[in-house]
Structure 1
Amino acid sequence: MRTVIVVGAGIGGVTAAVALEQCGWQVTVLERAPELGEVGAGLSIWPGAAAVLAELGVEGVIDAARAGGSAGMRRWDGRRIVDAAGLGVEMPVMIHRAELHRLIAGRLGPAVAIRTGTTVTGVRQDETGVVVTASRLVVGDQEYRAELVVAADGIRSVVRGLLYPRYGGPRYSGYTAYRGIAEVETLDQGGETWGRGQRFGFAKLIDGRYYWYATANREAGGEGDDVRERFAGWHHPIPALIAGSSAVLRNDIYDLPTPLVPFVQGRVVLLGDAAHAMTPNMGRGACSAIEDAGALARVLRAGKDLAAYDAERRPATSKLVKRSRQIGVLGQLDGKLACTVRDAVLGLGGKVAGLLAARRRVEQSRV
């Protein structure tokens, strides 16, 4: 049986482990955290990733998810900028990150060995395979050998740094994100609200709670602030959502600069945020990692060269990285005039898109 080491057991890592095991590989997963699991709040599952999970036999995703809200975009005072109801746009389903991780990990079989509390410190390749050096609690340094290594160790990937030491690494977006899960009662279907240098979005989860996220322009590494004060004057139910959250996560937002490094070097493959970390503005980060795993499995199953994986995934994810950063720049504008113009242009664009969508529906009804 062929052997592979997966570095990192986040959503991308466990998906890769499931996919590679189903391709007939013996998989060893090296995870730095002391136990398997995920932290965070909600995330979007788009159709492409849902299709990969279905192919892998991951069950219960749709049962644990809820269709994303389609309320569109508003100003901080609640005035509608874009009404998404009539646009006919493709919408994701929303699921709690920890629940998605649990469902995927549930497909791990007997050919997968998990090594938690393991920090990778070195990678070297030779004619016969790849050797990964890692430090384990109590045990100390150990070496693991395999025919292939899949690096799914996140935006600050140790493996990527070893392969491409001249690559600049993560860059700060200029804003911080706040996330929470709220237990509140509201009839609002969710959506996103844009202000000056700040944004707020929310959607309902299957269990009735609400996942919310917010962004604010600020320096990286700044001291904690009160998100309640930042959004105190915003429209209902934003203050209630924040107040109804038992915990608020805060993270400075980084992405990887383009051009992205090659996703393949010899017998080592980059996957997920290790390859193409993007800002969360399009909700595509976790889905892209899942799609990476699906693409890698197809390449290996077909007996193709690993370069085929890079040729498929790097152009596609490079576009998402660029587009997501552009949306963030637009959404985080803080000048009064710039925001007024932005909102007007988006409103006009939404009306035009709505008219075109209505026209398409009429034409399709005549077929």
Structure 2
Amino acid sequence: MVGEHDEVSGCALVVGGGIGGLATALALRRAGWDVEVRERRARPWDEGAGISLWPNALRALDALGVGGDVRAVGHANEAGGIRDRRGRWLAHTDNAALARRHGDGILVLDRADLLRVLADALPDAVVRTGAPVDAPDAGPGDLVVGADGISSATRALVHPDARSRSTGTVAWRLSAAVDDPPRAGGETWGVGAYAGVAPHRAGRVHLWAVVPAGEPAASDLAALRRRLAGWHAPIPELLDRVDPATALVTELRWLPPLRSFGGSAPGGGRVVLLGDAAHAMTPNLGQGACLALEDAATLGPCLREGSLDEGLARYDRLRRPRTARLTRTSRLAGLVAGLPGRVPTAVRDGVGRLAPSALTVRGLDGVLGWRPPD
């Protein structure tokens, strides 16, 4: 539990009670701020599919004081990486090697469990659910934190022309229960589609699949099963065991990098953006939630000392270049993963098999080597 503070640095309204919003509330309270979180959904921590957290995200959670609690509800996969549809590794990542290099491996958990850990670390009065904010503006002298997702109303206050873009693909997020779950997770690249597996606890396995929006498999589970029927085990078997009630189907969109992560609201208060409101990205690096946690763990220290404007400027300098680079890299990875045509995908797969696993682990340093600011 975050403790009370003798001195309050300011008042902040956090719009959005998802991962980024709750983590930001923790970070700002640790920095001495008075915080209120407003979330439009009535019970946000009862929703969502599986999620993978990488070492950089776990470092951010440690900085927020809840890293141990999150690890306790997660499951560390033995290995991961990328395979072709026949099951041959294109890039293999050993979780033990990842942990030796970065302190943690890849942790798989339910998004709802992560949200509950974050919410339980806050006093009850901080978070108001069932409380939409259509025109966020906390007034002069206050701070509005936009953590309200890719369609952020808060972002429209400072970047009214910013628009997310469609990838032309649809993502399925699913869950299955099996007697003998796989020990390794990872993603599989096929022709014009890709899918992934993330083993969890008690025989549960999270799955995802991305297909072009115009295909029957984009809206019909039976068509998706047929689309991936010839892929390597255990993907077809897991799809057969999927509970349709767990299916979450969404269009994949991304946000081109913004010119800044903040500005002034019409009422004179300051606005700062984080998570998908600031840098919505495709899921191909597995870094969407991880970067939102980094944002929160950065914003708190930036606002602990000095003026509000100085702190927001520092946050912008620390976060915008990194998130812009990873947003573009993730978009490129999505194009490569969903490459159409058998000849282009055969070339892609052949090149991928040439990379040794040690090089693959070292190649993640630029993503996973992040550290919270002092």
Return the letter of the residue paired with 1:320. Answer: L
Structure with the higher helix share, 1 or 2: 2
- Is 2:197 the counterpart of 1:191? no
Aligned equivalent of 1:321, options 321, 327, 351: 327
Quick one: percent identity of the two aligned structures? 40
Q: Secondary structure at the match of 2:21?
A: helix
Q: List per-residue Cα deviations over 1:283-315 (Å, max 9, x = no partner).
A: 111111111111110011132511110110011
Evaluate the alpha carbon distance shift between residue 194 and residue 170 of structure 1 in structure 2; reply closer, same or farther with a 3 A threshold.
same
Return the letter of the residue paired with 1:232. Answer: A
In structure 1, the partner of 2:133 is 120
- Is 2:238 the counterpart of 1:241? yes
Aligned equivalent of 2:227, options 227, 230, 233: 230
Aligned equivalent of 2:271, options 247, 268, 271: 268
Return the letter of the residue paired with 1:93. Answer: L
Return the letter of the residue paired with 1:114. Answer: V
Q: List per-residue Cα deviations over 1:124-147 (Å, max 9, x = no partner).
A: 576x33xxxxxxxxxxxxxxxxx1
Between 1:292-301 and 1:346-355, the stretch displaced more is 346-355
Aligned equivalent of 2:295, options 275, 292, 305: 292
Between 1:214-223 and 1:177-186, the stretch displaced more is 214-223
- Is 2:255 the counterpart of 1:256? yes
- Is 2:318 the counterpart of 1:312? yes
- Is 2:155 the counterpart of 1:103? no
Aligned equivalent of 2:146, options 147, 151, 155: 151
Aligned equivalent of 1:180, options 174, 189, 214: 174
Q: Secondary structure at the match of 1:20?
A: helix
Evaluate the alpha carbon distance shift between residue 351 and residue 152 of structure 1 in structure 2; reply closer, same or farther with a 3 A threshold.
closer
2-structure distance, mates of 1:53, 1:325: 26
Q: Secondary structure at the match of 1:94?
A: strand
1-structure distance, mates of 2:129, 2:361: 53
TM-score, normalised to structure 2's length?
0.83
For structure 2, which runs of at least 5 residues remain unmatched after alignment? 1-7, 265-269, 364-374
Between 1:220-229 and 1:318-327, the stretch displaced more is 220-229
1-structure distance, mates of 2:44, 2:297: 21
Evaluate the alpha carbon distance shift between residue 271 and residue 85 of structure 1 in structure 2; reply closer, same or farther with a 3 A threshold.
closer
Q: CA offset at residue 48 of structure 1?
A: 2.2
Q: Secondary structure at the match of 1:115?
A: strand
Q: CA offset at residue 82 of structure 1?
A: 3.4
In structure 2, the partner of 1:140 is none
2-structure distance, mates of 1:69, 1:261: 40
TM-score, normalised to structure 1's length?
0.84
In structure 2, the partner of 1:339 is 345
Return the letter of the residue paired with 1:48. Answer: N
2-structure distance, mates of 1:26, 1:93: 31
CA RMSD, aligned part only? 2.5
Between 1:230-239 and 1:273-282, the stretch displaced more is 230-239
Q: Is the 8 A contact 1:42 1:211 kept in 2?
A: yes
Q: List per-residue Cα deviations over 1:192-226 (Å, max 9, x = no partner).
A: 21100111111211343111111112249997222
Q: Is the 8 A contact 1:74 1:81 kept in 2?
A: yes
Q: CA offset at residue 80 of structure 1?
A: 3.4
Between 1:52-61 and 1:209-218, the stretch displaced more is 52-61
Q: CA offset at residue 183 of structure 1?
A: 0.5
For structure 1, which runs of at least 5 residues remain unmatched after alignment? 130-146, 358-367
Q: Is the 8 A contact 2:170 2:218 kept in 1?
A: no
Between 1:195-204 and 1:298-307, the stretch displaced more is 298-307
Q: Who wins on radius of gyration, i.e. which is larger?
A: 1
Q: CA offset at residue 176 of structure 1?
A: 1.1
Q: Is the 8 A contact 1:221 1:252 kept in 2?
A: no
In structure 2, the partner of 1:218 is 213
Q: List per-residue Cα deviations over 1:103-142 (Å, max 9, x = no partner).
A: 11111026x532222222224576x33xxxxxxxxxxxxx
Structure with the higher strand share, 1 or 2: 1
Q: Secondary structure at the match of 1:120?
A: coil
Evaluate the alpha carbon distance shift between residue 299 and residue 63 of structure 1 in structure 2; reply closer, same or farther with a 3 A threshold.
same
2-structure distance, mates of 1:307, 1:12: 19
Q: CA offset at residue 88 of structure 1?
A: 4.1
Evaluate the alpha carbon distance shift between residue 188 and residue 87 of structure 1 in structure 2; reply closer, same or farther with a 3 A threshold.
closer
Q: CA offset at residue 331 of structure 1?
A: 0.5
Alignment of 1:8-23 (within 5 A): 8-23=16-31
In structure 2, the partner of 1:139 is none
Q: List per-residue Cα deviations over 1:6-39 (Å, max 9, x = no partner).
A: 0000010011111112222221111111234252
Q: Is the 8 A contact 1:279 1:324 kept in 2?
A: yes
2-structure distance, mates of 1:348, 1:237: 24
Evaluate the alpha carbon distance shift between residue 108 and residue 351 of structure 1 in structure 2; reply closer, same or farther with a 3 A threshold.
closer
Q: How many residues align?
A: 336
Return the letter of the residue paired with 2:147. Answer: A
Q: Is the 8 A contact 1:199 1:332 kept in 2?
A: yes
Q: Is the 8 A contact 1:176 1:220 kept in 2?
A: no
Q: Secondary structure at the match of 2:23?
A: helix
2-structure distance, mates of 1:160, 1:317: 16
